[in-house]
Structure 1
Amino acid sequence: MLHLALALLALQAPSGARVVIQRMPAAGLEAVAGVSRRDPSDILHVGAFDVVFYTRVELGSVHYPRNYTGRIWYATSGDGGHIWIERGLALDHGKHGSFDSAGVFDPCVLRDGNGSIYLYYAAIGASFNFRLEASSRTNSVSVGVAQLSFGKAGELLRADRLRAGPVLRPSSKDKRGFDSLRVHDPSVLLRDGQFHLYYQGLPFATETDRSAMGLVVSENPDGPFVRGTAALPALALAHETVIWPHAGGTLALVSQSNRGLYWSSDGFHFARIIERVEGTLNEPGIARASASQQASAIWGLHVARYTPDIYLERFEFKFMGEIPTPPVTLVPTASEENRAAAAGWLAGGSWLDQHADILAMARRRPTDVVLLGDSITQNWGGPGRQVSAPGKTAFTNYFGDWDAVNYGISGDRTQHILWRIDEGEFQRGRSQVVVLLIGTNNIGSDTPHEIAAGIFEILTRLRRVQPQSEVLLLGLLPRGENSQDKGYLDARETNRLLAAFDGLPRVTFRDLTPQLAGDDGLPLPELYNADSLHLAPIGYETLAKALQPEIARLMEIHAGR
């Protein structure tokens, strides 16, 4: 963990931005003997009042104070959430035999562009067996929706279920899916006229702190919701999350596991933009108005503490320093390049065609070694790659005894590798060693700190999709024509930062400058092409000699685990 702390310290944003959470009483929703109030929804402003929904469970319920057999109640506040009046029941259990007949909980509210208000909630049916909580398909948790109608004084007039069944069920393909057992904690945003339903997914026989956030999308409030193929890439293990629109994108505050403030331009691919969060939140819901108005402090309600009689309290969180816009190196992006043969893609076509070829290779079988990177990696050639390959002979001579594959694409930057990981290049095939070389194409557009941050994000996502793999992280190869060349200077500074990653779990860093450069650190001309950037065949021979024993050592470590 010392190396991890050093790595994060090396990448700390110069702005020193942080999120500070303050907690305070919520009068009217404080502790009451024999009553549990939890799972507060986001808070909507209706008329002159703020309205919150929450799960209420009373002593005598099965497994009190847990929320499964709860009912959804609501309360209103006229002073910005400091004093609340509990109004009463909002949504009861469903009819006998329905998917929500035994419990409704985890409420979430949304007002659409027409002013209609919807209540999304988690639910269990009568077949739910608390003794088999994490091992039985009958113990699934689903998500339903109702439409709400309010009076002028903020009173709830009606809550009408829009469907007899759920709008979201656990995935049914197999038990390995991140959301194969339960879908709960819904949070819904409007984006480009569509309903984006975020939720926590839980697989079979897994503790709550291993949950991950998923996303489904629909044109209508009651579905059908279209499911993606995986958990949100940056928010795996993100429990206790609040999410809201910001600056044309989406912000997510995670105050427990994977703590930080995350930003996404598309609502799916998230990058952490603030690491430091002071304070924690339990089952939080925010006042949407305070977030949409970008107030100096965003407030909401959360669970104060998990005593036998659970209760709610108010919180505020403030941003100390400006919310930084994440550097492009951290934002997964697909390349729009279509350079055909000029990129060394002998079959022509686009960058996406190259990604499709790699995806096809990834789905065939597990591999010993994956080479991941840009044109310097692509130029190794290898099985299945229709590309120019000055490193082909060295690849065969030094890596031929292993089942090695080449995932290099010319022109790639850190953001492109992030996109490729998120879009499945490592979802199926399992590898023993991943050799990562990326970042040189970011030079000129991004600072060394930003490049290193992007590489750190790649390591994080590789660990998520290939937890058993050893990663051999290579420093940027020597480049530049003289010691004042920006490429030369930025590559050296980036490598200085990357050295802090050596010793992260299953990560080995190696800087191969001594093998490829002279005493002045400049590329040896005989090993490079005329551009002092790309390797000649003899350069690949030199690189392969240095890599082979490192890969062999990591293969032995992998085999011994």
Structure 2
Amino acid sequence: MRTQHLPAARAVLAAALIVLGLLAGCAGRNVVQAPLDPVSSPEWATDMARFAAEDVATPPPARPVVFTGSSSVRMWESLKRDFPGVTVLNRGFGGSQVRDAVWYAEEVALRYRPRQIVLYAGDNDISEGRTPAQVVADTRAFVARVQSALPGTPVALLGIKPSPSRVHLLGFQRETNEALRTWASRQRNIAYIDVFTPMLGADGLPREELFIADRLHMNAAGYALWREIIGPYLLR
């Protein structure tokens, strides 16, 4: 596992308080919460500063459906157009992992007092060698962070998408998705959305026509498919 430096003293303190809050919340239920791993990169501080600047320049809408997570969210340029009846806010930061969403939950979601949060993460985690169990544990930590700060806020978890460039990881992705699906089915206000299966062809491999040249990120057809899958889950 790579060792990363935390981006700033403020982030260290804020994240430490988050972890302590999660530990305290779990203690009352006799559940032991493993300490959260450090952020995957110090570069996310720049993204958080950009979000703050955007909020000043263009005040965000009240109680939006916040989409956050890695590059599949960040690159969704048609997000607002795709869901015209929903007030959405894009707070994706490309290359991020689930644990990064936990560390920066306040900056990417909580401060907007969202009516719903849609999270896409785990793709990069698996690619960087994290296990399905780690992805699920980090996802549970994210949900716990949300529920502690904003009780009752619905969270929709997007399954890890299959992509041609990461076809060798399909087994790990399936395992992670199934674990997330099983866990979410036992929770209140948590939905698992399967984007994995519809993105596979009849041969069981990722559909090439859904991706841009890098064979990792989606093109307009890929996002159109996501729009159809995710739309029914969104709160209006």
User: Is the alpha carbon distance of 1:371 and 1:519 closer, same or farther for their aligned partners in structure 2, counting shifts above 3 Å?
Assistant: same
| Distance in 1, Cα, partners of 2:26 & 2:165 | 47
SS for the counterpart of 1:522 is: coil
| Distance in 2, Cα, partners of 1:396 & 1:425 | 17
* Residue number in structure 2 paired with 1:331: 37
| Distance in 1, Cα, partners of 2:154 & 2:192 | 11
* Residue number in structure 1 paired with 2:21: 236
Question: Deviation string for 1:120-164 (max 9, x for gaps)?
Answer: xxxxxxxxxxxxxxxxxxxxxxxxxxxxxxxxxxxxxxxxxxxxx
Deviation at 1:434, TM superposition (A): 0.8
User: Is the alpha carbon distance of 1:229 and 1:535 closer, same or farther for their aligned partners in structure 2, counting shifts above 3 Å?
Assistant: closer
Select the structure of larger CA radius of gyration. Answer: 1
Is the contact between residue 434 and residue 471 of structure 1 (CA under 8 Å) also seen in structure 2?
Answer: yes
* Residue number in structure 2 paired with 1:506: 189
| Distance in 2, Cα, partners of 1:380 & 1:530 | 16
| Structure 1 or 2: more strand by fraction | 1
User: Is the alpha carbon distance of 1:474 and 1:401 closer, same or farther for their aligned partners in structure 2, counting shifts above 3 Å?
Assistant: same
* Residue number in structure 2 paired with 1:353: 46
Please report the TM-score for the alignment, with normalisation by the length of structure 1. 0.36
User: Is the alpha carbon distance of 1:425 and 1:529 closer, same or farther for their aligned partners in structure 2, counting shifts above 3 Å?
Assistant: closer
Please report the TM-score for the alignment, with normalisation by the length of structure 2. 0.80
| Distance in 1, Cα, partners of 2:85 & 2:225 | 18
Q: Does 2:232 match 1:544?
A: no
| Distance in 2, Cα, partners of 1:432 & 1:542 | 23
| Structure 1 or 2: more helix by fraction | 2
Mapping of 1:59-78 within 5 angstroms? none
Deviation at 1:482, TM superposition (A): 8.2
Q: Does 2:161 match 1:477?
A: yes
* Residue number in structure 2 paired with 1:368: 64
Q: Does 2:227 match 1:534?
A: no
Mapping of 1:175-254 within 5 angstroms? 232-236=17-21
* Residue number in structure 2 paired with 1:430: 113
Letter in 1 for 2:161: L
- For structure 1, list consecutive stretches of 5 or more residues without a partner in the other structure: 1-227, 240-253, 262-271, 274-325, 338-350, 382-391, 557-561
* Residue number in structure 1 paired with 2:9: none
SS for the counterpart of 1:467 is: coil
* Residue number in structure 2 paired with 1:465: 149
Q: Does 2:178 match 1:496?
A: yes
* Residue number in structure 2 paired with 1:24: none
RMSD: 2.8
Letter in 2 for 1:379: M
* Residue number in structure 1 paired with 2:123: 440
Q: Which of 132, 135, 142 is the matching residue for 1:451?
A: 135
SS for the counterpart of 1:333 is: coil
| Distance in 2, Cα, partners of 1:255 & 1:547 | 31
| Distance in 1, Cα, partners of 2:107 & 2:81 | 30
Question: Deviation string for 1:69-92 (max 9, x for gaps)?
Answer: xxxxxxxxxxxxxxxxxxxxxxxx
Question: Deviation string for 1:401-435 (max 9, x for gaps)?
Answer: 322111101110112111111x5444432111111
User: Is the alpha carbon distance of 1:353 and 1:540 closer, same or farther for their aligned partners in structure 2, counting shifts above 3 Å?
Assistant: same
Is the contact between residue 74 and residue 94 of structure 2 (CA under 8 Å) also seen in structure 1?
Answer: yes
| Distance in 2, Cα, partners of 1:429 & 1:477 | 27
SS for the counterpart of 1:411 is: coil
| Identity, % of aligned positions | 28
Question: Deviation string for 1:72-122 (max 9, x for gaps)?
Answer: xxxxxxxxxxxxxxxxxxxxxxxxxxxxxxxxxxxxxxxxxxxxxxxxxxx
* Residue number in structure 2 paired with 1:296: none
Is the contact between residue 370 and residue 434 of structure 1 (CA under 8 Å) also seen in structure 2?
Answer: yes
Is the contact between residue 333 and residue 415 of structure 1 (CA under 8 Å) also seen in structure 2?
Answer: yes
Is the contact between residue 98 and residue 138 of structure 2 (CA under 8 Å) also seen in structure 1?
Answer: yes
Mapping of 1:161-180 within 5 angstroms? none
- For structure 2, list consecutive stretches of 5 or more residues without a partner in the other structure: 1-12
Deviation at 1:544, TM superposition (A): 0.9
Deviation at 1:364, TM superposition (A): 4.5
SS for the counterpart of 1:462 is: helix
Letter in 1 for 2:72: I
Is the contact between residue 515 and residue 543 of structure 1 (CA under 8 Å) also seen in structure 2?
Answer: no
Deviation at 1:453, TM superposition (A): 1.4
User: Is the alpha carbon distance of 1:512 and 1:352 closer, same or farther for their aligned partners in structure 2, counting shifts above 3 Å?
Assistant: same
Is the contact between residue 18 and residue 103 of structure 2 (CA under 8 Å) also seen in structure 1?
Answer: no
SS for the counterpart of 1:521 is: coil
| Distance in 2, Cα, partners of 1:523 & 1:255 | 39
